[in-house]
Structure 1
Amino acid sequence: MTFAAQILTLYPEMFPGPLGTSLAGRALGEGTWSCDPIQIRDFATDKHKSVDDTPAGGGAGMVMRADVLARAVDDAMTRQPDAPVLAMTPRGEPLTQALVREIATGPGVTILCGRFEGMDERLFEARPIREVSIGDYILSGGETAAIVLLDACIRLLPGVMGAASSGDEESFESGLLEYPHYTRPNDWEGRTIPQVLRSGDHAKIAAWRQAMAEDHTRLRRPDLWERHSDVRDQSPSGAQRQTKEKRA
């Protein structure tokens, strides 16, 4: 089944963009996924194809109109009623690997790309739209964020990465950052590959990789480490285990 991506945007020429190359591009050519950029201006009703207006209450910039966006969203939902509708906004929930996996297992996705100061709040009150953010920074528009989301999803589609296990040990799949990688030459500028990776002992290699993943996560992403530790310290029933101090 083809994973169908609809992108509501003022700049449809940005798609597929980088998604037309490498693994995503090959998958697009093979029909594993489809890319359908939709021009939001096509749903404007005035002669100027206006999609924005001045903010209520005053202020800088312009705001995308709810009526125009709603017509675009309604059209997309008619074309693909089973696909979730996501809006790429800086105030949305963080894009996580868990959310990527959730989207990638579905029939596709409709992505609404914002511009200007944002979108009329009434749109989110009136339509089932999930707001998603790729990070704590501001972009010129939602298109770049949509490309990030789609790239993350496409690589998980069956057959795109080749072996089904290719991404199992990558960063965030287990809640940890990925362990460091090495390849030939064995000696480069006086730096050698860790001996354990040349030992041929698969159990020791697996233990080293796990230890490195934990060390890197604890030092570089304490937020991830805290969540990982919380999950690790839960019993199968979900109850938090008591510490030795509490049991004493």
Structure 2
Amino acid sequence: MAIEDGSGIPFDAWRLVGGLEVALDVDVLFGAYPDRDGPPGAPDQVLRLLGEHRIRAAAVASLRAALFDVRSGNDELIGVRSGKDELIARAAPEVVPVGAVDLRDPIGAARELERLAAGGVRAVRLFPDEQGVEAGFPSVRHVARRAARLGLVVLTGGDVRRFWQPFAGLGADVVFLDTHFYHLGDFLVAAADEPGFHTSTRLLNSPDALELAAAELGGDRLLYGSRAPHYEPLVPLLRLATSGLKPEEIAAVAGGNAERLLRRPQS
């Protein structure tokens, strides 16, 4: 990607990225939002986009599961009863399936968590904004408790200033996918008391956000997330590559931390 910087000199982002690759992207979606302009999110297109951005594996959730039908969307992604399982199995980049639940149906969501965990799924993704659910709703705390009991890693959207609360005191591993650099201070003080709290780096694009977070909590609490194909994967990749983090911290953010959370044996 080369653009002009205003001086007429082409700006080559990939030159700055250098040899950096992402071992595991924690924030990828298959499917489209019916009420938004954007890409269709077909699996082959998403996987091609990831490969073009040097992303070798991705934690993928299904928008069909989040927005339309939980069980069939999850099954389609996981390949339980789907004709697409061959595509997923042969995919390059590798797909790490992430289940989804409907927070508007806490009883059904708890049952789906049990089913996903029994099927070997390691993580569940919550879509509170898309489902019109607020952090203070009893359903969120109910799902948070059940996920923690099952040992599932939770990937959650929503404003971190509110959505940290349902997970407080549970000892759960949670990745906040929408932490904005304006709200980084709130995440840092919440995470100081919760060793399982992690954040995606997607929106931490201020000049010092990654460095501040690593200094306060350590680089093991930051995970690269792109939200491909509904966000530009190069932006967080470029920010990470040009950060002041140590090489070992960059490698951890670019997949090592996600590998630790999502591939370890389930307790």
TM-score for the superposition, normalised by structure 1: 0.29
- Bigger Cα Rg: 1
